[in-house]
Amino acid sequence: MTMSEPERVERLGLMGGTFDPIHYGHLVAAEAARVDFGLDRVIFVPSGHPPHKTGKSITSGWDRFVMTMMAVSDNPYFDVSDIEIKREGLSFAIDTVREFKYTLEVGSEIYFITGADACLEIFSWKDSKQLLSECKVIAATRPGISRAHLREEIARLYPDFADRFFVLEVPALAISSTDIRTRVGEGRSIRYLLPESVRQYIKRRRLYRSG
């Protein structure tokens, strides 16, 4: 009688953000993280009410959710969750990670994918130490930002949690949602910065236009 092999635990990637709008930088970062870290799937989680943008104007959650759904529809490893959009109050990463962890098998791993700038501010987030104990963090950065310097900063800021962070260089992160919104407002082209279905949705819904 032979012993059966232990069942492989799931590695889940969670990519949070406002996605206002989602663009190729987000998609390339998620795919690079999936491949480089052997993630079984990546779930995009559009923020409902991001605490760092309180008082700022952002597009409705459902518009951002629909655009994200459109953007990931052709990748079988990608999905989108409306968990933060439906949740009342401010959107905190720790609440989202805990909700997903509750649905996973014991021993499964969660990798929280975020930008390098946000990564360096994690200790300002709600229950940051608990967050770092419950998931690993993939810091996506653009070329030109020293990966060695970023690792040094992480080690300096989070000496007890440095082994929970991983740095991922993503060329397409030079694209930004802020620039896309500005371009739309100025009547400039955003073609090839994001999926065509998202561009058409923005045009149809007249998003990011001042008038």
Report the pLDDT value the prediction gives residue 184, as an integer from 0 to 100.
97
C-beta separation of 142 from 168 below 8 A = no
Report the pLDDT value the prediction gives residue 120, as an integer from 0 to 100.
83
- Please check whether residue 94 lies inside any domain of the structure: yes
Question: Which domain does 25 fall in, by range?
Answer: 13-98+127-205
Query: How is residue 123 written in tokens?
Result: 């200790």
Q: 25: which residues sit within 8 A by CB, 6+ positions away?
A: 170, 172, 173, 174, 175, 176
Instruction: Give me the phi and psi of 84, to 5 degrees please.
Output: -80, -30
C-beta separation of 128 from 93 below 8 A = no
- Please check whether residue 55 lies inside any domain of the structure: yes
Q: What is the pTM of this model?
A: 0.91
- Please check whether residue 211 lies inside any domain of the structure: no
- Helices 61-72 and 196-205 pack at an angle, to 10 degrees, of 150
Other C-beta atoms lying within 10 Å of the C-beta of residue 88: 6
- Please check whether residue 107 lies inside any domain of the structure: no
The pLDDT tens digits along the chain (211 residues) read 445 545 668 999 999 999 999 999 999 999 999 999 999 999 999 999 887 766 678 999 999 999 999 999 999 999 999 999 999 888 999 999 999 999 999 889 999 999 888 888 888 899 999 999 999 999 998 777 777 888 888 889 888 999 999 999 888 778 999 999 999 999 999 999 999 999 999 999 999 997 6
- Please check whether residue 119 lies inside any domain of the structure: no
- Please check whether residue 44 lies inside any domain of the structure: yes
| CATH number of the domain within which 53 lies | 3.40.50.620
Report the pLDDT value the prediction gives residue 54, as an integer from 0 to 100.
62
- Total count of domains within the chain: 1
Nearest to 134, CA basis, from 83, 99, 82, 182: 99
Q: Give 136's strand partners.
A: 111
Helix (H, G, I), strand (E, B) or coil at 95: helix
- Please check whether residue 118 lies inside any domain of the structure: no
Report the pLDDT value the prediction gives residue 123, as an integer from 0 to 100.
86
- Please check whether residue 113 lies inside any domain of the structure: no
